[in-house]
Structure 1
Amino acid sequence: MTYDVLAMPVQGIDFAPATEAAEILQNLRTIITTTRYSVPLDRDFGINAEMLDAPINVAQARLQSEMITAIKKYEPCVEITSISFTGTDDGVLIPKVQVRIKNDNE
């Protein structure tokens, strides 16, 4: 089974997710929406945002690479199946990461 995770901040954190899959997907969303250097005790956590002012195609390539690296490091129990982007008229990229949870019994 594959799951889609949008890189959009969500209000609040569920400290007791109902399923392991829900917990993993929440972790993924946290990883891909956190800017690197913003977490005091783990400055390497998250995504490097240096590409923010780059042209769209360059930003997409760099952001995709950053997300793959961060997800492999911080949530190794998932396999990334695809990363796609949608955009707004004012140039905001919204990544969508599609993953498969390894050993998912659902």
Structure 2
Amino acid sequence: MIVDITAKLGQIDFGATGPTEILQNIRTILTTTKYSVPIDREFGLSATMLDEPTPITQAKLTAEIIAAVNRWEPRAQVTKVTFEVDDTQGILRPKVQVKIKNG
């Protein structure tokens, strides 16, 4: 199963299981800033590259997204990362395509 996930906050389903749980976990990874989780300061994505030029930020963020999903949600594999860019508003929102692994 291949699914696209956009880094937007959404409602949490604490009873989620299977693919729904996996996708929700990935969305949480994408929307959490590193050092903001008291129990695990390494969880999430770094914000240190956000003041760099957009192409550099996209490259660094792509690498970080792949590493974070591999680390915290090993039931999924990132197959593609693209970005929604709005330079006038300073928005760079990742859109991540993942393949949910079987078993």
Normalising by structure 2, we get a TM-score of: 0.93
Structure 2 matches for 1:71-86, cutoff 5 A?
Answer: 71-86=69-84
Aligned length: 102
Measured in 2, the distance between the counterparts of 1:8 and 1:87 equals: 14
> Normalized against structure 1, the TM-score is what?
0.91
Report runs of 4+ in structure 1 exceeding 6 Å deviation.
none
Q: % of aligned pairs identical?
A: 50
Q: 5+ unaligned residues in a row in structure 1: which ranges?
A: none
Give the AA of the match of 1:16.
G
The one-letter code of the counterpart of 1:9 is L
Q: C-alpha distance in 2, partners of 1:8/1:44?
A: 20
What SS class does the counterpart of residue 50 from structure 1 fall into?
Answer: coil
Where do 1:30-49 residues align within 5 Å?
30-49=28-47
1:1-106 aligned at under 5 Å gives the runs: 1-10=1-10, 12-17=11-16, 19-88=17-86, 89-103=88-102
Give the deviation of 1:94 after TM superposition.
1.1
